[in-house]
Structure 1
Amino acid sequence: MQKKVATIGLVGFLAVDVALVALALRPSHPDGAGAPAATPVASFTTPGASGATGSTKTPAATPSSGTTATSDAPTGPKPAPVTEIVGALDATTAWRATTGSCDKGGSTLLVTSDGGKTWDKVKAPARSVSRVQPLAADRVFAIGAGSSCDLKQYASNDLGATWQAGTSVSGGWARQLDKATDVLTPQDTRAQPCGASTDVIDLSRTSADEAQALCADGSVMVTEDGGQSWADDGSVKGGLALGNRIESNRLTTYVARVGGDCPGIDLVRVVKGKSLESVACVGTKVPSGAGQVGVSIVNAAGWIVAGDAVYSGNADLTKWKQR
């Protein structure tokens, strides 16, 4: 991990959507990335959603997958803003982060380059971290804050060994760390997708214009204009974390919850006006602490962090293994 630090500055952060290849040549534009087939889409906010190449059909032999979710009330921890983040590049490279807080600090970062077999701890670029997103095997950006809670963007070109100095966020997506109802968007630094009195549990973007927010009351809200306006996009009671990606040219929404017949994390597909579809039952234990479940859904895989446990899933999200 001891590589020379690239000196490319962070400029022109709000570029139009372009391919990930172009983005890889311009590390200063993480949220200006477009949506090519290989671009990752993470569960906490990510650049460049992509169309899934894996089949979304559910194998009949998997009893926990592709079934209509039960209407049982959620039995897990009360939904709270996510504090354990996972941001994936693909089935091999992923980052985990603990958000920490602006006043007390405590943010942590870990990265895997071998599919979760081993994790390396790296120094976080700020006291608190609201978002972490890999752009390539050794390139990553994060959005975080110091004691003032003023969000800044940071970039590393050596797998987190060193970080460029933080700069003002322009064109980015992230949850604000000082007020749980607020999110930073390209068009509004203090958007409130869930309303003025309802916390945002999680936020996931698919392009410079499109993103979704999971609300404490279970609502899923969507914006298609960079955060200027938000509309109802479904609901899942007890939702703990949100992930999405583009499948067959359509925004597809996944929410992690606890309840029904699943003893662990019930990953459901959410479609407005339709019953929840249980895609997979992941693991057998659920952390008791608030905000300790995170989701990242990318083109070739899915990742779920549940407290200290980490799980990765195949492209159609029906088969999962603990890492």
Structure 2
Amino acid sequence: MARPSRHVPRDTSRRRTGVYIGIAAFIAVDILLIVLALNSNRAAATAETAAPIHTFGVTSVEPTPTPASKVTPTKTATATPASTATPAAATLLPVPPTRLLGAVDAKTAWRAQTGSCPTAAATPELTTDAGVTWKKTDASGPTKVTALQRLTATSESTVEFVGLAKQDCAPQFVKTFVTGDNYSSYPDKLAGTWYVNPADRATVQSPAGAEKAPCDAVVTLAVRDSKNAAALCADGRVFATTDAATTWSAPVTLSGVLTLTDTDTGYLAAAVGRADCAGVQVLTLKSSLESAVSGCYPTPTPAQSLPGNVAMSGASGTLWLWVGDALGRSSDDGATWK
């Protein structure tokens, strides 16, 4: 007997198909959500790594004097383009000078080159025609002095020096009253003059005696009288004293300054490597060390070769500047030159 065929309702088959379609749609939506989430994370990471990086340069600031009890001014960081960051002058520091200059008036001056003791002979030179010609003299022969450290000219015929004795390199005071035709030593005058012994640059000798310097190494002294002087240190800071080096002012840092000289009202400083002067820039300093730009002496000599090779002196309204092989004179503190 034949088995009757089983009837499957059409509605049941359609239901299964609907279920399968629903499951497939759910899975597709789930996959789409995962993909969107991954893309969102990648975009965030890309945006984070692509964010601009800000660059900050450091520019040197010339602080104004502050009371000794205040904190010494420091360099201040300011946002600047990378191409105009720290000026070249910031890398140039003063060194002990290899030349000395002492002006008498507009036409008369003494100068000398120096170096290490005992090899650097003392051969000062004199000009009486504004530097057109120079008369060479010999101080080492009669006095055995070498390595001159300080020069003070008072007239065409009279000039005095502090140097180092050839025998033991001890400080020595020598002087001429006869236009350099002869020199003599004056040991009794050494204690009453200003100088720095290169063997101990942390000490300043003043008319009051040996005093502690305001820094570890004084490079140059600019002396106004028996009590007033300024000291330039190897780290570029400048200090002033009004009591013969017993106490010192708060420091001022002037970028690129290589040497100092005294004036009737304060001091003058010679600076190199500054962006606004292709040569040696002259700064006027009040006795309180407040500074202002006075002028610029142009020179093709690279700034990097000038530390130790710049000398400056003023007298009777004329500023003399010895830079490399050139000599300039100014009657307006460096604003114009001849």
**Structure 2 length-normalised TM:** 0.66
Cα shift readout 1:102-141 (whole Å, capped 9, x = no counterpart): 2323443111111111111111341111111111221111
* CA positional deviation for 1:159: 1.0
Give the letter for the 2:253 counterpart: S
From the superposition, tell whether residues 110 and 255 of structure 1 become closer, same or farther in structure 2 (CA, over 3 Å): same
Structure 2 residue 252 is matched with structure 1 residue 242:
no
CA-atom RMSD, angstroms? 2.3
What residue is the counterpart of 2:19 in the other structure?
none
Q: Is the 8 A contact 2:99 2:113 kept in 1?
A: yes
Q: Is the 8 A contact 1:102 1:178 kept in 2?
A: no
**Structure 1 length-normalised TM:** 0.69
Structure 2 residue 238 is matched with structure 1 residue 216:
no
Whole-angstrom distance in 2 between the partners of 1:290 and 1:151: 24
Cα shift readout 1:245-304 (whole Å, capped 9, x = no counterpart): 123xxxx22111111221111111235585x42211113133615411111122311011
From the superposition, tell whether residues 123 and 81 of structure 1 become closer, same or farther in structure 2 (CA, over 3 Å): same
Q: Is the 8 A contact 2:124 2:136 kept in 1?
A: yes
Structure 1 segments (4+ residues) deviating >6 Å:
none
* CA positional deviation for 1:234: 2.9
Q: Which one of the candidate residues 267, 278, 301 is aligned to 1:286?
A: 301
What residue is the counterpart of 2:191 in the other structure?
170
Whole-angstrom distance in 2 between the partners of 1:260 and 1:286: 15
Give the letter for the 1:156 counterpart: T
**Higher Rg of the two aligned structures:** 2
1:292-303 matched pairs, under 5 angstroms: 292-303=309-320
Q: Secondary structure at the match of 1:170?
A: helix
Q: Which one of the candidate residues 102, 106, 111 is aligned to 2:126?
A: 111
Identity %, equivalent residues? 29
What residue is the counterpart of 1:154 in the other structure?
174
What residue is the counterpart of 1:86 in the other structure?
101
What residue is the counterpart of 1:227 in the other structure?
245
* CA positional deviation for 1:75: 6.7
Q: Is the 8 A contact 1:220 1:234 kept in 2?
A: yes
Number of residue pairs aligned between Structure 1 and Structure 2: 243
Q: Secondary structure at the match of 2:152?
A: strand
Structure 2 residue 270 is matched with structure 1 residue 256:
yes
Whole-angstrom distance in 1 between the partners of 2:159 and 2:118: 25
Q: Which runs of 5+ in 2 are unaligned?
A: 1-85
Whole-angstrom distance in 1 between the partners of 2:200 and 2:311: 19
* CA positional deviation for 1:237: 1.9
From the superposition, tell whether residues 291 and 316 of structure 1 become closer, same or farther in structure 2 (CA, over 3 Å): closer
Q: Is the 8 A contact 2:97 2:308 kept in 1?
A: yes
1:20-99 matched pairs, under 5 angstroms: 72-74=87-89, 77-99=92-114
Whole-angstrom distance in 2 between the partners of 1:214 and 1:300: 23
Cα shift readout 1:69-97 (whole Å, capped 9, x = no counterpart): xx945178532122211111111111111
Q: Secondary structure at the match of 1:175?
A: coil
What residue is the counterpart of 1:55 in the other structure?
none
Give the letter for the 1:92 counterpart: K
Q: Which runs of 5+ in 1 are unaligned?
A: 1-70
Higher share in helix: 2
* CA positional deviation for 1:218: 2.3
Cα shift readout 1:174-193 (whole Å, capped 9, x = no counterpart): 12132333332112335313
Give the letter for the 1:236 counterpart: L
Q: Is the 8 A contact 1:84 1:99 kept in 2?
A: yes
Whole-angstrom distance in 2 between the partners of 1:139 and 1:75: 39
Whole-angstrom distance in 2 between the partners of 1:269 and 1:225: 22
What residue is the counterpart of 1:145 in the other structure?
164
From the superposition, tell whether residues 92 and 106 of structure 1 become closer, same or farther in structure 2 (CA, over 3 Å): same
What residue is the counterpart of 1:318 in the other structure?
335
